[in-house]
Amino acid sequence: MKKLTILLMLLMLALSFSACKDDDNNTNDPQEPQEEIVGVWVSEGANVAPLLVQVFKIKKITATFNANGTYEVVQVDSANTSLTLTGTYEVEKSSVGSIYTITANQQSPATLTSEGIYEITNGNSMKYEVVQTAPTIGAVPPTPAAGFGSTNGGAFGTLNVQTYVKQ
C-alpha cells in the first residue's frame, strides 16, 4: 500500500505537465507538435484521472504549455486548495499513430522527471499518461506501442489516463 501511495503521489505530480521539443533532424516540421500542445488545457470532472480523484481528491487541473518549452500546472482539490507545478518539457513523435512521447522536468515545488505519452485529437482533446521516473519510484512509464493504460505494464489500466480539453 505504501508503494502504491508513493506511486500515486508521483503520478499526480507527473500529470501536471506535457512536453514539446523541436525535431533534431529537419525532415519534419519541428513546430507541429509544439503548436498543438501550446496553450491552456483543462481537465475536470470525469476527465480527471481516477487515481488522482480517488487518492488526492483532485477535481480540476489547468495546464499551460508555452512555446518556449515551459509549463505551469495548477491542481485544485476538493477542499479548493491549489498546488502549482512548473518546469520544462520535451516531446517526440512516436512511430505509433498520432501518439507522442513526453518528458517533463519539473522544477517546482519539487525537482523530478516524469515520462509518458500523449495524443491530441481534433486539435482540442488530449489524452495524457505519465509517471515519475526520477528520482525513481519503481514506476515504468507507458509506451506508444502498448498504448494508453500501459503504465507499469498495464497494472493500473486506465486509472492513470487523464483527458484535457484545450481552452
- Domain positions in the chain: 2-166
Give the separation between CA 136 and CA 8, rounded to whole angstroms: 13
Give the separation between CA 111 and CA 105, rounded to whole angstroms: 7
50 touches 13 (CB < 8 A)? no
Q: Which of 85, 23, 73, 21 is nearest to 48 (CA)?
A: 73
Cell numbers placing 167: 481552452
Give me the half-sphere count of Cα atoms (radius 13 Å) on the Cβ side of residue 144: 14
Q: What is the identity of the amino acid at 98?
A: S
Q: What is the identity of the amino acid at 148?
A: F
Give the separation between CA 127 and CA 163, rounded to whole angstroms: 5
User: What is the chain's pLDDT, residue by residue, as a tens digit (167 residues)?
Assistant: 444 433 334 344 444 443 333 444 444 444 344 679 999 999 999 999 999 999 999 999 999 999 999 999 999 999 999 999 999 999 999 999 999 999 999 999 999 999 999 999 999 999 999 999 999 999 999 999 999 999 999 999 999 999 999 99
Give the separation between CA 126 and CA 133, rounded to whole angstroms: 22
Fold of 2-166: Lipocalin (2.40.128)
**Can you point out the beta strands (E) in 27-150?**
39-44, 58-65, 70-77, 82-93, 99-108, 112-121, 125-134
Cell numbers placing 79: 477542499
Model pTM score: 0.80
